[in-house]
Amino acid sequence: MDKNKAFPLDQVPPSALTLHLTRSTIKMHHAPTWVVDKTLSVEDFVLCLEGRADYDLGGESLTLEKGQAMVIPRNMRFQGRNPTKSAFIGFAQHFTLSIFAEANLFSRLRLRSKVTFANWPMIESLGWHYRNTAPASSVTLAQHHSLMVLLLAYIDEAFLGWKDDKIYQPSAGGIDLAVSVAAGRIASEPLSKAVALRAVADAGYNPDYFQREFQRRIGVTPRQFQDFKRIERAMDLIASGVSVAEAGARTGYSDPYYFSRVFKKVTAMSPSEYRRRAEEARRGNLWYPEEDGLAAFLARRSKISR
């Protein structure tokens, strides 16, 4: 993934996701005679480690080969077969993944039907380990952690968008999800002038109410959060060797003096000081504050306002 591209779930707190493995792992080692025709009430993650299988998912035909995976949505009929003369090897894991304890996450996402993992060497190693260590008739804590890594990698590759921009639900979990989605959209497009306004407008709530709830949960307004994410982009650019002036220009700050003021407000140091410390870190002189990022920014704002 491009380091400047935000992961779609970046702004979702880890505690908001609940993963449940609903049965033991299916260790797939299917001969050419294998066929399947099923409909499940839960999601099914399928990873191909060797060979090939042809599937029909709700009328869509696709082929799954080594390095590829798919998540079969709940209540969708699927059919599969091995069209080759060699074994189809991988695993299938039935699961549910809820967000804020009440919403099926995969029902909210628009995803590609299958993915080819760009970081396959890492995924392949984890996939074989997952398959080979899975108990015959139970699931383990280690499997939950490993599958979460695989599912997040899958979402990262497959993500096309949220299924419904107006994701209103009349509950506490609904506003939590709406704020997380809005923050994720802003984080992924911080250089877009209108992204904060669009995120608020698409949330499905009264704009004034939503902005108050956004600030209560994130700590800043949607526009201030966008400014923070712009400076994060600039920090990445400066740390990678881009000049301070170019980093400001590439993140939408045409006035270098204004860029420097905003940068210092967010990071508590000037762009040139940050550049110097990044260069020292590359030489092995590591320097890290006790806190950084949004938490440190909010702490400084709190001290100033007292």
pLDDT digits (tens, 9 = 90+) for 47-101: 999 999 999 999 999 999 999 999 999 999 999 999 999 999 999 999 999 988 7
CATH 3.40.50.1000 fits 14-162, yes or no: no
Contact 169, 135 (CB under 8 A): no
DSSP state string for 8-51 = TTTTS-GGGEEEEE-S--EEEEE-TT-EEEEE-SSEEEEEEEES
pLDDT tens over the chain, length 306 residues: 444 567 888 888 888 899 999 999 999 999 999 999 999 999 999 999 999 999 999 999 999 999 999 999 999 999 999 999 999 999 999 999 998 876 789 998 999 999 999 999 999 999 999 999 999 889 999 999 999 999 999 999 999 988 764 544 545 568 888 898 899 889 888 999 899 999 999 888 999 999 999 999 888 999 999 999 999 999 999 988 899 999 999 999 989 999 999 999 888 889 999 898 888 877 766 666 656 677 777 776 665 444
Residue 70 amino acid letter: M
Percentage of residues of the chain with pLDDT beyond 70: 90
CA angle 149-203-214, nearest 5°?
A: 75
**What pTM does this model have?**
0.77
